[in-house]
Chain A
């Protein structure tokens, strides 16, 4: 049976993407657990803000969780890379988790992501209001021009006075 045009592509792409993401999300920890367990421990502690964001963001797109998560990850990345070397141990990971500077960098990046998530909607609201007002003005002007060129008959108002 031929698929309906344009109706089945997106779900398939969306589900494939999610599956890939899920696979990565499972494969990376498994690899880390095998290759560098200390990095996994650090990652688990550092990505707690991301986990919280995922739980709080119930939207389908999960833009807020993404914003927090990507900054959280970037903040934790240098410390995770340090723990990937051959001389990295579990004690190093625990020391990093107790280091206020490291925690500050990691959680601070996540906080920046949260700040973006919280500040963006009001800014978008203001921007939308401006855009809407401009669009309304354009449409009203268009109607005025149409009436000016074609007469009040174009408005279709039966009680309008004769144009000429």
Chain B
């Protein structure tokens, strides 16, 4: 892996960041620069005495931007704190993301991992390194963050009896600067750029290796490269590999065994470490030896006795491993030599699904799944690229930023992610947050401009020759919608068959239901058909509003001709004519939204319903009066006599009054 920082000479002579921090590229600080970055001095114009430095990640490396704000705000003692960050202009016209950090006092405990230093006394180790590291890691865990850069070259000690400070952990992807020596058995197999945030146990593992190195004063695997380190650790186990030639102090052995356990379940937690640091009585369980096969499996010129080493070899010899994944010999070896029936069945199922599954599975995907079965804790591996499930985000800026020139990540990898058990464990652990940018699910739809719920495959597939939606309900690309409509609207014979049930978008269904929430509509037998028609028009109107075209007269005219079921619920002829007129006007403009509004006007429907109720009451009252009038014969005679006598009395009164006047006069 190319760990050199990029060229500082590309920077200006002096640069300002945030109007306050003067970056001085000339004051290079290689001891503070993690691999792949450059570090230089910084001067705070408001506080010139403040010890600061700047880290500039190299091109293609993604800083852990998500942690910058929390670490700055939390001000965790014992961890180098970011102060400010931003974009700086480069001499070549480019720009560089720069982070200003507090400069740790003192120097790194080790200048390099290959040289080592004098063994650190146990008391100093405990007081100056272990306990401050425990405090710092606990604080980081509370911030749901991980350090992922704990190593002797990134630990700073000012003076004895002063606590050590954990160095920079934000300028590179998590675990990027860690040699395989400091990574767990799972994450060391991933590409450095794709190791992921990890969990607290990963930091504790790195801390354990660091303590071992500091206690012994040397790196037992200094002469080995990362590949060889991986093999040694896989074959012998981490603790055994690191203590083969020199035993650590006996007081530290239980702690180191617990922290360096290769099985994630056996690895010590922070609580156990704190308990040991307090009482020294906790002992680590002996690690179960890796299952070795009764007979080796030959691959790539080597004999492999464990599934894990075989998986590593197959991942590194991808082309040759494809044929092994297709073969029955691997499953047979796992079942008979390793005596692991569950894994054998899983391998058989992988091959069966590849042959007979619902969709075609390529050889790369099959091999990736096979490797996941062989080593379920390992990262996802595809064609030379390996990534932890939460490390894909860090890999995205520079997927080929490894010493192995790997091709871009194929689309099959997310499906492989789902086969790994470790992915789910990591995803649920605290500290594993969204530096992974890609959830290991099915590939995201590229046709996501319309929400998936807006257009239902069940409804839209009723439009013939529509390539967007065939079998499954998924979002319909507006561009495909656009292609469909002109072809369909030009054809007079091309009519969609209306489905009985339509999945409606939530908004439309609410609007549609409001208009139908009347007693008569509830009992109307054509209500489902009507709702389906209105929903269909609303769906198309929504698509028209998002994708165009602005006018679809033929399509609107087609629906205009099918309006009868949608208008069955209307009682009033006058309102019906009004709706038909409005619908015809909208259809003439090719406006599907206007057509839907004309059909689905709830206010108009309330008017209709209220008017109908009044009309019905009038009709009933008239009927009752008609019945009463037609039935009343005898009472009419009585009525006539009464009216007659009353009239006679009034006439007699008038006549009498007139006569009286005449008489008086």
Contact = CB atoms under 8 A, between A and B. Distances in A.
B567 A120 contact: no
B561 to A, nearest CB: 15
B660 interface: yes
Contacts of B646: 61, 63
Interface string B626-665: 1001100000110111111111110111011001100100
B616 interface: yes
Contact of B615 (A66, A109, A140, A154): A154
Interface stretch (B304-312, B591-599, B617-625): B617-625
Nearest to A140: B626
B573 A124 contact: no
Nearest to A138: B622
Please provide the 10 A-B residue pairs with the shortest distance between their CB atoms, ordered closest to farther.
A120-B644, A121-B644, A125-B640, A67-B652, A63-B645, A124-B643, A116-B648, A124-B644, A120-B648, A63-B649
Contacts of A122: 640, 644
Interface residues of B, number: 43
Contacts of B619: 142-143, 146-147, 154-156
Contacts of B520: 153
B35 to A, nearest CB: 80
Nearest to B567: A164
A112 B611 CA distance: 55
Interface in A56-79: 57, 59, 61, 63-64, 66-68, 70-71, 73-75, 77-78
B564 interface: yes
Interface residues of B, dominant DSSP: helix
Given A121-B640, A125-B637, A143 B612 contact: no
Given A121-B640, A125-B640, A164-B564, A143 B648 contact: no
A113 interface: yes
Given A67-B651, A74-B660, A150-B572, A124 B641 contact: yes
A73 B656 CA distance: 8
Contact of A128 (B567, B640, B649): B640
Interface string A108-152: 010011001101111111011100100110011011001111110
Contacts of A135: 625, 629
Contacts of A77: 660, 663
A132 B573 contact: no
B639 A128 contact: yes
B571 interface: yes
Contacts of B626: 136, 139-140
B343 to A, nearest CB: 68
Interface in B564-587: 564, 567-568, 571-574, 576
Contacts of A75: 659
Contacts of B636: 125, 128-129, 132
B202 to A, nearest CB: 73
